[in-house]
Chains A and B, each alone.
Chain A
Amino acid sequence: MTASPMSLEILRMPGTRAYPPRESVFTQPFWQALGEGRLQTSCCRACAQLAFPPRPICPHCWALEPGWSALDKRGHLYSWTRIHAAPLAFAAEAPYAVGIVDLRQGIRLACRLIDRPLAPAVGAEVELLALVYEDGPLLGARVVAPPPEPAA
């Protein structure tokens, strides 16, 4: 476990990514940082809102030329599923789990879920991590604690 909530654990993965994402001049810094265990996304210089996935326009106010902002890796699991019927490129990995994560900073994203526990509880506390394959990284998440007890 890494100490800083801004620093992602790097999990070395065997082989290459089944369906690698494309990188652009704009998104390359995101993927490079992810490969180094840092999560960042575009942040509007005009209205200060974050966007995810990162993009060169603010989806809220349409201001251009955003900056980059680091993201806290901690959040909770909004929902998840395990995919058994997979596209050809992913057939060897099936079944695999994916989930929707709500980060503490108010950003919702969807990524691969590292498969422990086998049936995570909706609402569980999760941390994002970098899944680093031979050809580059993907974003992942792992359950670190069961859902917090509801307030009495």
Chain B
Amino acid sequence: MARKVALIGTAAIPVGRHQSAEDEPLQVLEAEILSRLAALALADAGVEKSDIGSMVFSLPRPYTRQKYFATFMANYLRVSCSGTVMEVLGNGMTGGFAFDMAANDILLGRAKVALALGINMESATASGEHMMSSMRATGDVDFHSSAGFTPIAWYAMDAMRYMHEFGATRAELASIAVKNRAHAEHNPMAQYRKPITLEQVLAQRPIVEPLGLYEVPPRGDGAACLVLADEDTARALGRPYALVSGRGFHHEGAHQISEVPNDMIAFESARRAAATAYAEAGVSAADLDFAEIYAPCTIVEALVTEAIGLVPRGQGAAAAAAGETRLGGRIPVCTSGGLLSRGHPAYVTPLYGYIEAAEQLRGRAGARQVPGARLGAVTCELGNYNAALVHVLEAR
């Protein structure tokens, strides 16, 4: 029988402001945070340090002083590996690739236990300065950055187009931020937990029209460590785990925009990646108990719920406004609070997505628990969902 991968242990810090300013006398050191999480995650999993065969790190931000972070950490934690020790980078999908590469080492038989881990520190760098870097990450640095395009400007244009094509309202989109904040209230890992109202969301200052402050991602720091294992190892431990039963990826060969006109808000990559993941897991979208979606803006959650088949085309915002995607609704989405409220420490954000899925599937989500959750999907992306990575996880 084909080998399968299980997510057996997790640890993270609450998303928030952790990075110290340059001039503070005592500095927060990345290795100190992440090493503690590795120990906690290993204890959560119930495996030994000597079981670790691979470690895949998300690349730290350029603001992290220590370079060659993965091999530095291998020494710091004194882990010797015969699988892989490396750092990966893939835009917002970075944490997803760390998970995927760690899983691959298990599937290939190179490791029985693999860590997917990382730390993203950026909050001490002012937004305007950070954006001088992030604006180079989307579109063409010569043709688009020169015009002042920013990463979330592309999502804003999705929103403008979506409202035009489907008649979605500002209030329907804004309701997604309200819903996610209500979820985050119950998540100790969330950056923003105080409930907000629709009126408050709509009254925020514009950031990228039509989206205001509460509909775009906050900036924050985060760190997480996930322990993956082959299913035999997971089963032998005798504890609940999350089985990775399906995986799909698609890149449509565009970077925010292609000169060949297409339907930019269909999120074709998400549709195809989800179809692949569902097929491998032998399930359909209707079988899911929840979905943890990578959505930096309200509009993105609306479009992804459509693309991965949770709601009909053009109904994502309306379905959210009607309560279908909230806890207790037909298909809860982003029970963690999502990127808008749990937070978005970009290079590790997907790791928090898998953690939320594991919490739900291991029945540990407390007041935000989806009753009887057995099957969930986790998505992440790069570009304007020009690429999507979708995993289906099952309770075992």
- Residues of A whose CB lies within 8 Å of any CB of B are 17-22, 27, 50-53, 78-91, 93, 95-96, 98-100, 102, 106-112, 121-123, 138-139
Contacts and interface: CB of A to CB of B under 8 A. Distances in A.
B208 interface: yes
Given A78-B264, A85-B150, A99-B157, 13 more contacts: A21-B141, A53-B142, A78-B161, A80-B160, A81-B208, A87-B148, A88-B129, A102-B261, A106-B261, A108-B260, A110-B139, A139-B143, A139-B147
20 contacts: A20-B146, A21-B141, A21-B142, A52-B259, A78-B161, A79-B158, A79-B161, A84-B209, A85-B208, A86-B128, A88-B129, A88-B132, A89-B132, A93-B148, A98-B153, A100-B157, A108-B260, A109-B143, A110-B257, A138-B147
A76 to B, nearest CB: 11
Interface in B78-97: none
Given A27-B142, A86-B131, A123-B164, A112 B264 contact: no
A108 B261 contact: yes
A111 B157 contact: no
A85 B146 contact: no
Contacts of B134: 87
B129 A83 contact: no
B140 to A, nearest CB: 6
Given A78-B264, A85-B208, A110 B149 contact: yes
Q: Which of A19, A80, A111, A139 has the most CB of B within 10 A?
A: A19
Contacts of B139: 110
Contacts of A21: 141-143, 146
A81 B160 contact: yes
Nearest to A21: B142
B261 A86 contact: no
A98 B139 CA distance: 13
B284 interface: no
A149 to B, nearest CB: 15
A86 B260 contact: no
B261 A87 contact: no
Contact of A108 (B143, B205, B209, B258): B258
A84 B380 CA distance: 26
A95 B150 CA distance: 12
A106 B158 CA distance: 20
Nearest to A54: B143
Nearest to A49: B260
A18 B148 contact: yes
B144 interface: yes
B207 interface: yes
A81 B142 contact: no
A87 B135 contact: yes
- Closest 10 CB pairs between A and B? A21-B142, A81-B156, A87-B131, A122-B164, A79-B157, A52-B259, A79-B161, A88-B128, A90-B148, A21-B146
A111 B257 CA distance: 11
Contacts of B161: 78-79, 122
A109 B259 contact: yes
Given A22-B142, A81-B209, A122-B161, A108 B150 contact: no
B206 interface: yes
A25 B207 CA distance: 37
B127 A85 contact: yes
Given A17-B146, A27-B142, A79-B157, A84 B205 contact: yes
B128 A87 contact: yes
Interface in B152-201: 153, 156-161, 164
